[in-house]
Amino acid sequence: MIKVEQLYKYFKQVKALDGISFEVKKGELFGLLGPNGAGKTTTVRIISTLIPPTKGQVEINGYFLPKDAAIIRNFIGYVPQALSSDGTLTGYENLLIFAKLVGLNRSEREKQINELVELMGIGDFVDRLVREYSGGMVRKLEIAQALLHNPKVLLLDEPTVGLDPASRRSVWDVLKTLQEKYDSTILLTTHYMEEAEALCDRIAIMDHGKIVIIGTPKEIMEQAGVETLEDAFIVLTGHEAEEGGNFNELKRVRKTARRLQ
Ligand SMILES: Nc1ncnc2c1ncn2[C@@H]1O[C@H](COP(=O)(O)OP(=O)(O)OP(=O)(O)O)[C@@H](O)[C@H]1O
Ligand SMILES: [Mg+2]
């Protein structure tokens, strides 16, 4: 469904992506795993048509970027790392705005919103202001927003950052349901090793703009000869995942925590 070949992205001197290639199959839940600055967000932004690559090819469902960007936008949904719901509106109002933006007519809007509210399990809160939601509820609302036009492919950038363990699990459940019931193809980024292990069919471990290894969590651990992905990361990259990224990490988690209050 997604095929990325020899993708490069430079921001002036910074090589954010240094020639990465990977494929995501139809119906697969694929994770880009890596520490701060690895290039995860840059990859997702390119695939979601937001920024152009410096070099390389991206094919989605048989269409190519940048040529077919307008067509591709019709069948991808994108949940960014930053907040995409308005806290001063209710969940329903947020969904209504997005439904109008993607061009659904009145009856389609009602049907889609009701279905997604049910699917995400946010029915009890949909008429409350989003600023009163817990972090997990906000994430589920944002996922619903991204699904209003029935995309084949869902892209999520750090969907569970800053969430408590229970909320994180409820977001995992929602993504699993999407995959199992709706055959959605899901590409997500995460820097949580245990999230990648629990949730993803296959993972690409990224580090400094490169892909270090691609495989199922089990294959990766076997290849590295260790019992956890955390250890596999250290064996394969020669350093710990948290090294060097602490300030950014803190800043981001705090920002996320603040926006979710
Ligand atoms: N717009 C930009 N201008 C300049 N440099 C950028 C820009 N966006 C990203 N970078 C740099 O590119 C590299 C990859 O960044 P990216 O955001 O893709 O990493 P990431 O894996 O998503 O990290 P994080 O876990 O912190 O979200 C980093 O060195 C980052 O500083
Ligand atoms: Mg990022």
Rounded Cα gap, residues 256 and 238, in angstroms:
30
| Residue 80 CB less than 6 A away from ligand 1 | no
The reported pLDDT for the residue numbered 137 is 92
Confidence band, pLDDT 50/70/90 cuts, at residue 240: confident
| Residue 191 CB less than 6 A away from ligand 1 | yes
Ligand 1 probe mutation, 4, 20, 41, most atoms within 8 A of CB = 41
Looking at all shown ligands, the one closest to residue 204's CA atom is: 1
Task: Say if residues 65 and 58 touch (Cβ distance below 8 Å).
Answer: yes
> What's the mean per-residue pLDDT of the chain?
91
| Residue 14 CB less than 6 A away from ligand 1 | yes
Task: Say if residues 36 and 227 touch (Cβ distance below 8 Å).
Answer: no
Q: Look up the pTM and report it.
A: 0.91
Structure tokens at 72: 């591709």
| Residue 11 CB less than 6 A away from ligand 1 | yes
- The pLDDT of residue 244 is above 90: no
What are 20-50's pLDDT values in tens digits?
999 999 999 999 999 999 999 999 999 999 9
- The pLDDT of residue 204 is above 60: yes
Please tell me the least confidently modeled range out of 87-96, 165-174, 242-251. 242-251
- The pLDDT of residue 246 is above 50: no
Looking at all shown ligands, the one closest to residue 206's CA atom is: 1
Task: Say if residues 153 and 74 touch (Cβ distance below 8 Å).
Answer: no
Rounded Cα gap, residues 39 and 128, in angstroms:
36
The reported pLDDT for the residue numbered 196 is 94
Q: How many angstroms separate the alpha carbon of residue 16 from the centre of ligand 1?
A: 6
The reported pLDDT for the residue numbered 241 is 74
